[in-house]
Amino acid sequence: MASELIYRGHDAAHTPTSGGAGYTPKPEKRLLWFSRPLRYLIREQRLAFLLVGMALATLFFALAPSSSPSYYSSATAAELALRSAMELARFGEHHRHRAAFEAATSRGFVGGKVPLGIKRKGLRIVVTGGAGFVGSHLVDRLIARGDSVIVVDNFFTGRKENVMHHFGNPNFELIRHDVVEPLLLEVDQIYHLACPASPVHYKFNPVKTIISFSSSSLISSCCGLHKTNVVGTLNMLGLAKRVGARFLLTSTSEVYGDPLQHPQVETYWGNVNPIGVRSCYDEGKRTAETLTMDYHRGAQVEVRIARIFNTYGPRMCIDDGRVVSNFVAQALRKEPLTVYGDGKQTRSFQYVSDLVEGLMRLMEGEHVGPFNLGNPGEFTMLELANVVQETIDPNAKIEFRPNTEDDPHKRKPDITRAKELLGWEPKIPLRQGLPLMVSDFRKRIFGDHFDVNPSTTTTSTATGTGFS
């Protein structure tokens, strides 16, 4: 049987003992509330150890300042005051910059103009087609401004010599890449200039100029330019969307085709032959503008659109078929200047530095565009030939040939919008800029020897087609 313990204290208190008298238990002692902690401290000398620890801590803190190697102990009162003033100034400057940045962001200045009073921080910028004629001049300006520039070029029309003077600069990178293939970069701004702009190049390779979403077999069997305009623009817009960069598309006056309105304003929709020999370039650029605006409206990408009119200057391709380069190269080589048709077609010519200034103002501004960027000074082809004769060789002959297909009769920009919203207009007239281009062409054609016998020079391989 299991044992069991039962408390019977109540019954035991009333049970008589053998002696006959009742049992009374001893009353419990009541202790004061502080007696138990006090006994804990006294027991095992705990109080002594506590007092010794407090004394050591007091001694340490009392002696620490006098034995510390800190520079404040050896500094004079004036030095301490100067240090305090400098720290306070830096603190105040940081908060002023922060407040100015937040105010600018709240007004919408995310990637554009820098508020006054803040030193401009260099941007990381990619320039597609940056080794080309216009692109290389743009790169020069961006590098001079203090930006870090990445040039992306496949050297179809660009030349490494155009950017070689930046080799060794830590703010410059050169990537040999075709924009029809995706590219991953971290940048703040994208200048998209990659596309052959001369008739010789885009007529030689029309599909690469425009092709958009055809099958890979068609793309591989047909080289062309439409591919650059559409697929290349799509890739760069996708990059801008991913990294939050501002995107600038360099479109062209060719979107106006053979215009029925003169001069051309940005609201004019144009008169373009969609199946002509020039349509690969015209329609390719029109499609690129459409894609740019679709990304702006649908994906909130910050975009800018520039419509560039005829531009000339150093680093142009010598035999690219554009009228200014044709005339200059032919006059230097003592060849007849080839004029197509009756020579009464008109064009407007801007110097490359004026164009670069307009592109940079557009990128840094707050207006999407499109903006016409060109010189409103208008010349017939015969007038241009006369200016080239005056500049290079008054005895140069003019040779007339049949006109080319779909050649626009008139081309002149209305730049009112650029003047009002960008504060931009061209500064360099044709007669001032043309000698600078002639000097560059002379060096590249003849080297450093300007007294070359014309009979020993090679004949021009330019087709002379087109006046763009």
Highest mean pLDDT among 98-112, 146-160, 220-234: 146-160
d(CA 385, CA 412): 18
End-to-end CA distance of the chain: 120
Is-catalytic flag, 281? Answer: yes
Q: In this structure, are residues 318 and 161 in contact, taking their beta carbons and an 8 Å threshold? A: no
In the prediction, which pLDDT does 1 show? 43
Angle between helix axes 381-391 and 430-446 (nearest 10 degrees) is: 60
Instruction: Look at residue 106 and tell me whether its pLDDT is greater than 70.
Output: no
Tokens of 261: 């309105």
- For 376, what's the count of Cα atoms within 13 Å in the CB-facing half-sphere? 14
From 255, 194, 189, select the one nearest 230 (Cα to Cα).
Answer: 194
In terms of C-beta density within 10 A (0-12 exposed, 13-18 middle, 19 or more buried), how is residue 130 classed?
buried
Place of tokens 């701004």: 189
Q: What is the structure's pLDDT at 54? A: 85
- DSSP at 407: -
Note if the bond before 69 is cis, omega within 30 degrees. no
Of 51-60, 295-304, 451-460, give the range with the top mean pLDDT. 295-304
Q: In the prediction, which pLDDT does 375 show? A: 96
What is the mean predicted confidence (pLDDT) over 103-114?
Answer: 45
Query: Which is nearest to 335 in space by CA: 438, 467, 459, 463?
Result: 459
- For residue 30, report the phi and psi dihedrals to the nearest 5 degrees: -95, 125
pLDDT at 409: 87
Q: In this predicted model, what pLDDT tens digit does every residue of 162-203 receive, in sequence order?
A: 999 999 999 999 999 999 999 999 999 999 998 765 444 444
Query: Is residue 454's pLDDT more than 50?
Result: no
- Residue spans of alpha helices (H) in 211-322: 216-221, 226-227, 233-243, 279-299
pLDDT band at residue 280 using 50, 70 and 90 as cut-offs: confident
Nearest to 295 by CA among 368, 227, 212: 368
Q: Round to whole Å and give the CA distance between 232 and 230.
A: 5
Residues contacting residue 154 through CB under 8 Å, at least 6 positions apart: 176, 177, 178, 179, 194
Asked whether the beta carbons of 248 and 306 are under 8 A apart, the reply is yes
Q: How far apart are CA 417 and CA 419, in angstroms?
A: 5
For residues 395-399, give the mean pLDDT: 94
pLDDT at 440: 96
Which residue has tokens 């003019």?
A: 398
Q: How many residues would you count in the chain?
A: 468
Q: Which helix (H) or strand (E) holds 424?
A: none
DSSP state of 257: B
Q: What pLDDT does residue 355 have?
A: 98
Give the bridge partners for 191, in sequence order.
Answer: 127, 248
Rounded mean pLDDT of the chain?
78
Strand segments, DSSP code E, in 19-87 are none
**What does the pLDDT look like over 421-438, one tens digit per residue?**
999 999 999 999 999 999
* Cut 0.85: pTM above it: no
The tens digit of pLDDT for each residue in 21-79 reads: 555 655 555 556 666 666 766 666 667 777 878 888 888 888 865 444 444 444 455 55
Q: Which residues contact 431 (CB under 8 A, 6 or more apart)?
A: 387, 390, 391
Q: Across residues 13-26, what is the average pLDDT?
A: 50
What is the β-pairing status of strands 371-373 and 148-153? unpaired
- pLDDT attached to residue 9: 43
pLDDT bucket at 276, cuts 50 / 70 / 90: confident
Q: Which is the catalytic residue, given 281, 295, 312, 340?
A: 281
Dihedral pair phi/psi, residue 148, rounded to 5°: -95, 125
Q: What is the pLDDT of residue 357?
A: 98
Give the Cα separation of 241 and 329 in Å (integer).
43
